[in-house]
Structure 1
């Protein structure tokens, strides 16, 4: 994972200011480098290009410094991504060098052939990425994000034709910075008399959702074959993301430290990932479960008679401890480390300006409440307790050294986990449900992933999304909607505020994301299989923290401090 800064300027090279440098180095503590290039395509004046990359080294045996530069051609690449496969073939070792080689080969032609070949290379990459590639042979800069938008890249363009691209926002800019759209690949060509900009469409169509409607009532629950296939696909997606993670950390890592941690609410999606990680990693590798809870003044005021810790009253803390306990029971050979991350309100206030800067241009109350939970969870600093083998559990102050964080994001969008999915089914059956799921997956790249990347990566951590693996997404979209969910005509859909059912047979599991619940049930995690969907801002209690604000909505724009 890397931090990227790129600029186009007329008079002189435009370097990042000290705050941007600090934020880039926070994202990539292993390497930092600056390269400059000058373009003189017979214009009235030269154009200065500045390329900056910081590196969090998570692939290969050595730290691959960036930006990458081909000294023969002068071409340059800033790569912030993980290419798990290229053209269906798994990548071993450092991926950025292999991507650069392919882009250089594709550049050995004139436009528009170079456009086509470079598009082909990028389209065939499976994995999250953002990039800036300068093809010196055609004086063209290409930039963009993967189609799902899993990595951050912001663009800021001034009236004088100067432009900045960066993984994080540029402070004090006169013009707004915007998310680079993941719907196409963007380019800038420096021609003899002008600068031409454009977009290149991805070369293959995105996977289409299966909108088939059953001709007769489907079986009560999805088939055993679908459950098995789902587990196989998800396990393969996880293997790419958790196996052979190198340790290039500058700090001395303690014996018994984890390389992998989960953003862990104890809910279905993250607990299923944890259970599958156990099947993949050697049992001598510990796994950290990062569970965040907040001191919310409003919640405390509403529960004045309670003497229990406000953190232990948070819904995600309760489900987190429950799922941690079940993991210890089902997988006792693994060292599971539950990290209780308790955030007092004073710390929220102290870090609020930083979080707002990182999540920008997102600027709503909901953005802040979600970003706040992810920010402190990713920091990984709390109180740890290890496998619960008896009544006496040792707890100690702890800071997770895991540089790879797993997130369950994407499961709700693919498998119908939101309450509006059940509402869509009630209004219009499987057809309406399929339309709702299609809308979710089509807009996932332009919604929140860039924000989450900026907030989480600030701690020198990389978040990985197994449910958004291209092959897993393709498999999930191909399934009929009744094979993904348990919504059936005439079957009651439980409300999310109801207490969890005492489930003794899988047919009684909640319909939302039923295929994943059955997978969890099959793996022996029956309590976790019953967990209901709960938004992170309510589970961790970051929503509506300020008593003096009165009634606020998640869509309300943040009011500037002071």
Structure 2
């Protein structure tokens, strides 16, 4: 279950009326896009001296029935839960919403901290314990979901939300350093909040989270961290000559990258570690692919409309499109066949109601009793540059997505900024041709097509939907101003701008569906397809309707994927590299993940990060750095960086993708200007 939280408490009722409800109105559009399936609010009336208001918007991901939020039990406890329980003691019940599972667990006579330390999966949460009058909130150890706060000690006001507009500069990200607790009564104001830190937080990390505007009391009671992060200060012994022998013995400059990787796999210990990584990564991908509704967005909408018309009480899905739902301009279950504009137009005109749409969907079956149906459309997509990380995710997703369903590969490319000059006559004449060509030479488009071909060759039975998402400068500027800058807030650097915009367009999934060369076969499309009636070609303009997008965040930070990791090793040795790898992972919540969650959820989808699964982090974190990567001079980029992951790709049969060099997303998609400094504040946001 994914929910968008907005929660506020305040002592001054006049301030409350003038601020919080204006704020709620201000962000209501953002909240509804994040949680399009249901929304509600709840006031807690009996908080001594305070007014407390909870608002929740739900993206339904788990359970047979939608479980609304704010979730309230019979004791008056209130939960806003933006997360997924993928493991731990509370997992395993696929019939019930994980929101209800967690609410029931928190309502038992068990300390809140004890319950939360058993949760495995991404989350942010807000929980009001009505008995103790304590407000608990926080993010998971890695910080995979967004939570922002604003604290005004002058009027004792606290506001927590998943997203806030840039016109509200007072909001900052809640640090993913532990679980926070505010005790609300007439004697304890909001000038102090208690933090129960994760057990593996260092003193230096905790000191950086202290705020000047209020007193943050760091409790001696810590929470057991669900992941293993090695202490960067530990004295590292090694590596010994034997440790590095598999890597130094393949020092043959004339060998290809592929041959170097194949030679490394001949070492039994190396091969065993690769098998271990693949096994854990498979589990991480499996739970993220399987834990979702058994329907794409369009089928969930149709099923819900059918249930409303027949009076069924069980609802399979709600309108995912907000106000943009337009039957006459959209088709679901499209079979890729060449038809004339007249035929297409006639078919569109026949779709005068949702019931007629469902009647034309061969792959959807709706029964009058209950909600049993079959949806064979795409439900899972991969953010797909064609590089190492995304190639592995696509290959592993293939093992767990049902054989009859496609997988969407979302590949984004940006137009280069044009110089401010008049186009020549020749340029105007060639305009339409150049539009296609200028996206073809984008680096991620090239690697995307190459790895798409490799996946088709490796798994020809799968329909791999390669979606080319081309973004013009005009559209980039428009959407950045209209929506994206608010989602990036409170971050504001040039890097945030580049990555946030690239991720927003990629996860929107609106582009061109490319058919393999010479492939005229019919298959069920998983998406809403926008039809050009002037074109007699197959429908190719495409909007994915998946619920889940798999992303490769976290691989570089853990497995030594950055060029600076090679520099650190060369200049300061293995101990320094270990410290840098730990530091990279520890700060990923503040650099990337809160922003990425706000961006992805704006499309009513959920981003999932298999490389940041607790099992992966704990396994990789226990490895010495030379078992993860070996960026020594004899192993060039494309082999020595993320060596363990490259070897995994080799074992999976992704021979070309295994050797591709690391390329940053912002440069691979060509949205960034290499002449700009990534850490500078962006004047475009």
How far 1:180 sits from its partner (Å)? 0.1
1:311 aligns with 2:450: no
- 1:354-393 → structure 2 map (5 Å cutoff): 354-387=483-516
C-alpha contact 1:328 1:387 (8 A) present in aligned 2: no
C-alpha contact 2:61 2:291 (8 A) present in aligned 1: no
Can you list the C-alpha shifts for 1:425-451, whole angstroms capped at 9, x where unaligned? 111332222121111112122221001
Distance change in 2, residues 1:300/1:89 (3 Å): farther
* 2:122 alignment counterpart: 128
Distance change in 2, residues 1:90/1:214 (3 Å): farther
* 2:403 alignment counterpart: 283
C-alpha contact 1:150 1:453 (8 A) present in aligned 2: yes
C-alpha contact 2:40 2:70 (8 A) present in aligned 1: yes
C-alpha contact 2:492 2:682 (8 A) present in aligned 1: yes
* 2:534 alignment counterpart: none
* 1:67 alignment counterpart: 70
How far 1:215 sits from its partner (Å)? 2.0
Q: RMSD across aligned C-alpha pairs, in angstroms?
A: 2.4
Distance change in 2, residues 1:73/1:171 (3 Å): farther
CA distance in 1, matches of 2:661, 2:568: 18
* 2:458 alignment counterpart: 330
* 1:214 alignment counterpart: 239
How far 1:6 sits from its partner (Å)? 0.4
1:51 aligns with 2:58: no
- 1:400-479 → structure 2 map (5 Å cutoff): 400-479=544-623
DSSP-derived class of the 1:55 partner: strand
Distance change in 2, residues 1:277/1:166 (3 Å): same
* 1:190 alignment counterpart: 184
C-alpha contact 1:30 1:248 (8 A) present in aligned 2: no
Gaps (5+ residues) in structure 1? 108-116, 495-508, 546-550
TM, length-normalised to structure 2: 0.73
CA distance in 1, matches of 2:592, 2:109: 32
* 1:110 alignment counterpart: none
Q: Greater shift after overlay, 521-530 or 146-155?
A: 521-530
* 1:514 alignment counterpart: 643
- 1:88-167 → structure 2 map (5 Å cutoff): 90-93=92-95, 94-106=97-109, 117-158=111-152, 159-167=154-162
Name the count of aligned residue pairs: 524
Q: Greater shift after overlay, 212-221 or 275-284?
A: 212-221
Q: Greater shift after overlay, 514-523 or 191-200?
A: 191-200
Larger Rg: 2
CA distance in 2, matches of 1:40, 1:58: 32
* 1:267 alignment counterpart: 387
Of 378, 387, 406, the residue aligned with 1:258 is: 378
How far 1:169 sits from its partner (Å)? 1.1
C-alpha contact 1:421 1:433 (8 A) present in aligned 2: yes
Q: Greater shift after overlay, 363-372 or 9-18?
A: 9-18
CA distance in 2, matches of 1:240, 1:266: 23
DSSP-derived class of the 1:126 partner: coil
CA distance in 2, matches of 1:453, 1:300: 35
How far 1:90 sits from its partner (Å)? 3.9
TM, length-normalised to structure 1: 0.88
Of 34, 39, 50, the residue aligned with 1:32 is: 39
How far 1:161 sits from its partner (Å)? 1.3
* 2:368 alignment counterpart: none
How far 1:197 sits from its partner (Å)? 2.1
Of 538, 553, 557, the residue aligned with 2:681 is: 557
